[in-house]
Amino acid sequence: MSPKLKRYLFHFAQNFALVVIAGMAAWGVARPTYDFFYCTYVGPVLDSYACQGLSHDFGYEILGWMIMLYSFFVPLFLAALGSSARYRWIAVALSPMPLLIVVGLITGADPTIVGFGFFLGIMVLIGLGLGRFARKTLGKMPSLEAMKKYF
């Protein structure tokens, strides 16, 4: 295996793992934050009757929140810890989101889907901002090799 291919595969595996971790984080965080965060700050903006049990939610209320969290964690993890081409990876990993909105609009979902897309955008931007900040902070820390010289 050529070193170039090896390097490429390593970068691929690293970014892919971060996307998977972002998905798992969204899954894990959604449930404990759903009641106190989503139902209080996000849901009521999209749906006047969110979380009130007046509508059928069929569990999809929490799925919406999970998608939002995924849109937050993907740019956060990839921007902070991603390897080369991380922004392209962010774009690819989040590409289903605009697709979801477009398909929703085409198939005739409620107009509130635009608001949902707006929230997704906010989550992406916050995640991206925090990720870049984290990357800079991590970059300022001494490397492992440098630390080994001292300890």
Partner 1 sequence: MSGKTIPNRFFAAVVGASFLFLASPSFAAASSLVWGNVEGGDPVRIEILDGGTYVVPLNTPAPAFIDSPFAFFDFTGTLYRIDDSGGTPVREEIATINCLGCTPESTLEWSSAGQYELDLPLFEPASQNFNDTLKRWLARVFFAEIAHAQIDPIETIHFTIEEAAAACANPCLSSIFFIPGFQASRLYQGNVISENQVWEPNSLQSDVQKLYLDENGASINPTYTKADAAIDSVGPFFSRTDIYRTFLEQLGSLVANDTIAGFGVFPYDWRVSVDDIVENGTIYNDGTHYPAAELESLAAGSMTGKVTIVAHSNGGLVAKALMRKLEAEGNAGLVDKIIFVGTPQLGTPKAIASLLHGDFQNIPGWAGFLVSKANARALGENMPGAFGLLPSPEYFARVADPVVDLSAAPALRAGAGLSLPTVDSAAELAKFLTGAGGRAQPAFDKIEIPSVLSSTLLSNATALHNDLDTWTPPAGVEVFQIAGWGLDTPKNVVYTEKRQAFCITASCSSATTTHHVVKMTEDGDQTVVSASAAVEDTFPVYYLNLISYKAETRHDVRHAYLTEAKPFQDLLLQLISTTTSPILPAHISNTRPQSTSAEKRLRLRVLSPVSLDAYDNLGNHTGMAPNPTPGSDLLYKEEDIFNSYYEEFGEGKYLGLPEGTYTINLKGLAQGTFTFEITPVTGGIEGTTTSYIDIPVSVLTTGTTTIDASGQLGSLALDQNGDGVADTIITSPTQATDPLTYAKLIKTSIAGMDMGAKTKRQLIAKFANVGYMIAKLDKWENEDDDGKETNKTGKLTERIIKKLGKIEQYIKKQLAKSAPKLKQNKVQLERITPAQAEALLDMLSTLKKLVIIK
Residues engaged in binding partner 1 (CB under 8 A): 27, 30-31, 40-50, 52-64, 100, 103-104, 107-110, 112-113, 115-116, 122, 126, 129-130
**CA neighbours closer than 13 Å in the CB half-sphere of residue 83:** 13
For partner 1, give the closer residue by CB, 55 or 137. 55
Instruction: Assess contact for 93 and 28: CB atoms under 8 A.
Output: no
Q: Which two tokens stand for residue 4?
A: 């170039």
Residues 6+ apart with CB under 8 A from 49: 55
For partner 1, give the closer residue by CB, 129 or 142. 129
Q: Which two tokens stand for residue 26?
A: 């969204």
Report, in Å, the least distance between residue 125 CB and partner 1. Answer: 10
Report, in Å, the least distance between residue 67 CB and partner 1. Answer: 10
Q: How many residues does the chain have?
A: 151
Report, in Å, the least distance between residue 21 CB and partner 1. Answer: 16
Measured between alpha carbons, how far is 73 from 75 in angstroms, rounded to an integer?
A: 6
For partner 1, give the closer residue by CB, 107 or 143. 107
Report, in Å, the least distance between residue 53 CB and partner 1. Answer: 4
